Amino acid sequence: MVGGFILDATIRQKTGKGDARRLRNEHKIPAVVYGNGEPTGVVLDHFKISKALENEAFYSHILTLNVNGSEEKVILKALQRHPFKPVVMHMDFQRVSASERIRVHVPLHFINQDIAVGVKKGGAISHHMVDVEVSCLPDQLPEFLEVDMATLDIGQFLHLSDLIVPAGVEILALHQGADHDLAVASVHAVKSGEASV
């Protein structure tokens, strides 16, 4: 799915820690755009990025980076936050090509948890993952993957191989062999004093 996020950026003229500190003091974020050519240093507005980051879809969408009037399609590859302040310190973006597969972490959305077979029997749900890394062409990128918990009974697990993915989308861990078919979620019996979902 091609996202509707448009980020305005300017070319970063200087480099170094001193310049990065100056930019942050001006409520700007230094960033680098990699792939398909030379890395490019850019500068983004902190307020606008903070607002965009509130949307889960931002992390798994194709973004439009408007650099000095020239548009590039990118994905967010890395995000460095301040250890305790609500400040984004640095961002890495990767350019994308319509004909080249990309690797992106896509969030998992768990549905039908309250009506899961095991929950109705008093069990509780455990989430073992919140996202999964997939490979696909940019226009095939899903905003999220749904995990249907309805049929899961107490003592049962849902694994990566149980996930339904759109055409053209591959879960990368499954290419590494059966021992990488990890648990995504499970239902377990509730111990006394533990609240069920």
- pLDDT tens track for 54-112: 999 999 899 999 998 899 999 999 999 999 988 999 999 999 999 999 999 999 999 99
Q: Are strands 124-127 and 88-95 parallel, antiparallel or unpaired?
A: unpaired
The strands making up 124-127's β-sheet, listed across from edge to edge, are: 124-127, 183-188, 157-159
Give the integer Cα–Cα distance in Å for 181 and 172: 10
Domains of the chain as residue ranges with CATH:
2-95 (2.40.240.10), 102-188 (2.170.120.20)
Amino acid identity, position 103: R
- pLDDT tens track for 118-171: 999 999 999 999 999 999 999 999 999 999 999 999 999 999 999 999 999 999
